[in-house]
């Protein structure tokens, strides 16, 4: 009996290994597809695949050189040129001549280039490091320490621009260049681990329908309006369509020797849980204690810590030290005049309302996904404070993403402000249900009084009616089906303004909710509708005599789940 058990275990092991081998084999087949497709219509992105295959296109490289010389954000193209340089010997002189003028780190009086957000940091640092290793270029001060510190933070704690559908590809590019070309074994190894970690979290928030629409600290509207057409998802999983024009992320990964087994093995079709993303802002002071003050400030900026009270002093010192007062990142950071003067007194209440919420570290993330359904959120993240590029909650049904957003929205197709939410909600999530409460800080409503401009506190919901297979209103609920996946949004009102579901006027306190399901969790769409129809809610705004303050209470119950919160 014992020997039969051992044989059984052995067969399971062999079968599992075969499955993993097949996964890697299918992945390599998709890589070959991408490499073949890249030869059809050359562009800045798939030029990486051409040079990898030994196919020359001098005109395209010249065009990239012209772009990098004049671009306001040259590192987006520089990172590609570095990869082409190290993959091919055909363009060495052309590329080196085109990129030799760059200062690869912050210089005195810089007004344009940005070095300090997470993706920019690794693109500049990896490029400078590889030029140093392969061509003997002198480095800017502290590059080795700064780069090793960056990689160690990512491997140990994860990414500040977590789940960003905008910026992950640039961070991935910098990491893959190091993973593939670094000569220093420690840097090469750490970059490989960090790249695997980034891709693993990408897969964690990817649904079985091939959709990537996660809660994130940095995003724009357009990345959620078509979340099912994603080349990297196809390359990693085979889901979705073969990309006709492989993007930057696809081209970098398809030409990389990164070990993909840990990434592919991490895939889960279903998941429900909460986890902490990165370290807290308070922990950063210990983690960054060995850095120079200049570099410490940059790392604080990379985590969104610009003018939060605990880091404001370092920020103002670094701006003065580097003479960055005319840099567009600081002139336009919050889209308001006299920005530095407003936040110089970092302890002021008005400053805290507009500055604390830019910090992205130590964020608790909720994720539920099952087949083609998903619901993800930032747990109780700076409710009432001014928002920046955060997407605090997103619901997914098949290839449709639905989300609430505060502020004025006239047209979703053109809406792309520097800041996303004018005030952030408090979100509580349990599995496939979320309670979403809005109550803007007083300073938001009084912004015009302080000379900061008019700030709308409206809440809007993105609900693309024409994309659903069917949808309807059930009281204060909007309910829709796409394929085998269902989504429902509970609204604070039943208004519609400028063809957008939004409450008329600035209502201040608002209660919203979100619920998802599919054929596996609920059976038919009619059964899902019955659950919504039997749901209940309660909302109140009362004076608490004992605590001598108003409190806002919300509760939502759907099926066997109920969430409530008292906001004081």
Give per-residue pLDDT as tens, 402-411: 999 999 898 8
Q: What is the predicted pLDDT for the residue at 545?
A: 86
Helices 168-181 + 118-135 axis angle, to 10: 20
Residues 202 and 138 in one domain: yes
Note whether 324 and 452 are same-domain residues: no
Residue 8 has what pLDDT?
32
Q: How confident is the model at residue 498 (pLDDT cuts 50, 70, 90)?
A: confident
Q: 245, 268, 291 — which closes off a domain?
A: 268
pLDDT in tens, 180-218: 999 999 999 999 999 999 999 999 999 999 999 999 999
Do 231 and 145 belong to one domain?
yes
The full DSSP string for 2-58 is HHHHHHHHHHHHHHHHHHHHHHHHHHHHHHHHHHHHTTTS--TTTHHHHHHTT---H
Q: Which pLDDT score, from 0 to 100, does residue 309 have?
A: 72
Count of domains for the chain: 3
Residues 385 and 465 grouped into a single domain: yes
How far apart are the C-alpha atoms of 292 and 541, rounded to whole Å? 49
Residues 132 and 168 in one domain: yes
Q: State pTM to two decimals.
A: 0.91
Is 275 a member of any domain? no
Report pLDDT for 14: 34
Which residues span the domain enclosing 140?
2-102+111-268
Q: Bridge partners of 483?
A: none
Q: Do 374 and 420 fall within a single domain? A: yes
Question: Quick check: is 36 in a domain?
Answer: yes
Tell me: do 29 and 15 sit in the same domain. Answer: yes
Percent of the chain with pLDDT over 70: 91
Domain boundary among 316, 335, 358: 358
- Are both 450 and 383 inside the same structural domain? yes
Boundary-marking domain end, from 221, 243, 268? 268
Residues 480 and 396: beta-carbon distance below 8 Å: no
Average pLDDT score, the chain? 88
Does the pLDDT of residue 348 top 80, yes or no? no
In a domain, residue 250? The reply is yes
CA distances (Å), origin 91, targets 83, 131, 162, 252: 11, 15, 35, 18
In a domain? residue 556: yes
352 and 460 share one domain: no
Residues 485 and 499 in one domain: yes
Q: Is residue 200 part of a domain?
A: yes
- The DSSP secondary-structure symbol of 199 reads H
Shared domain check, 561 and 481: yes
Assess if residue 273 is contained within a domain: no
Tell whether 316 and 403 lie within a shared domain. no
Q: Is residue 274 part of a domain?
A: no
Q: How far apart are CA 301 and CA 308, in angstroms?
A: 10
More confidently predicted of 139 and 357: 139
Q: Does residue 127 form part of some domain?
A: yes
């Amino acid at each position: 009996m014992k020997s039969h058990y051992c044989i059984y275990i052995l067969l399971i092991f062999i079968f599992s290994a075969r499955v993993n081998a097949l996964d890697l084999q299918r992945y390599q087949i998709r890589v070959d597809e991408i490499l073949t497709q890249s030869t059809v219509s050359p562009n800045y992105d798939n030029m990486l695949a051409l040079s990898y295959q030994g196919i020359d296109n001098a005109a395209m490289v010249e065009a990239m050189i012209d772009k990098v010389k004049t671009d306001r954000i040259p590192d987006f193209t520089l990172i590609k040129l570095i990869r082409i340089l190290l993959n091919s010997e055909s363009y060495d002189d052309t590329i080196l001549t085109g990129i030799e003028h760059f200062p690869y780190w912050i210089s005195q009086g810089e007004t344009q280039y940005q070095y300090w957000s997470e993706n920019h940091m690794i693109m500049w640092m990896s490029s400078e490091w590889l030029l140093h290793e392969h061509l003997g270029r002198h480095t800017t001060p502290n590059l080795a320490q700064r780069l090793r510190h960056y990689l160690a933070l990512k491997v140990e704690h994860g990414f500040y621009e977590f789940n960003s559908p905008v910026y992950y590809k640039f961070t991935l590019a910098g990491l893959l260049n190091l993973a593939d070309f670094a000569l220093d074994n420690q840097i090469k190894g750490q970059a490989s681990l960090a790249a695997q970690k980034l891709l693993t979290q990408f897969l964690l928030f990817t649904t079985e329908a091939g959709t990537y629409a996660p809660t994130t600290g940095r995003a724009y509207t357009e990345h959620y309006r078509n979340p099912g057409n994603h080349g990297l998802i196809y390359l990693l999983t085979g889901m979705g369509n073969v990309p006709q024009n492989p993007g930057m992320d696809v081209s970098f990964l398809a030409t990389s020797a990164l070990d993909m087994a840990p990434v592919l093995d991490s895939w889960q079709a279903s998941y429900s849980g909460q986890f902490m993303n990165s370290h807290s802002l308070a922990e950063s002071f210990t983690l960054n204690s060995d850095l120079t003050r200049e570099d410490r400030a940059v790392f604080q900026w990379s985590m969104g810590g610009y003018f939060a009270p605990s880091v404001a002093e370092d920020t103002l010192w670094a701006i003065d030290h580097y003479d960055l007062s005319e840099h567009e990142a600081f002139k336009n950071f919050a889209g308001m005049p006299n920005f530095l003067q407003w936040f110089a007194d970092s302890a002021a209440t008005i400053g805290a309302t507009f500055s604390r919420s830019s910090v992205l570290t130590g964020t608790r993330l909720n994720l539920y996904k099952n087949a083609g359904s998903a619901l993800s959120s930032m747990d109780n993240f700076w409710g009432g404070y001014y928002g920046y590029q955060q997407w605090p909650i997103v619901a997914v049904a098949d290839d449709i993403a639905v989300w609430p957003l505060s502020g004025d929205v006239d047209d979703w197709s053109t809406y792309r402000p520097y800041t996303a939410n004018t005030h952030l909600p408090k979100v509580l999530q349990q599995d496939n249900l979320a309670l979403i409460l809005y109550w803007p800080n007083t300073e938001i409503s009084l912004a015009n009084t302080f000379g900061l401009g008019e700030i709308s506190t409206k809440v809007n919901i993105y609900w693309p009616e024409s994309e659903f297979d069917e949808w309807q209103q059930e009281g204060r609920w909007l309910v829709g089906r796409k394929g085998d996946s269902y989504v429902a949004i509970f609204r604070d009102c039943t208004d519609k303004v400028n063809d957008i579901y939004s409450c008329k006027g600035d209502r201040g306190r608002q209660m919203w909710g979100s619920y998802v399901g599919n054929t596996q969790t609920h059976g038919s769409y009619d059964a899902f509708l019955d659950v919504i129809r039997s749901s209940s809610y309660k909302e109140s705004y009362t004076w608490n005599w004992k605590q001598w303050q108003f409190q806002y209470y919300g509760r939502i119950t759907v099926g066997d789940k109920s969430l409530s919160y008292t906001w004081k």
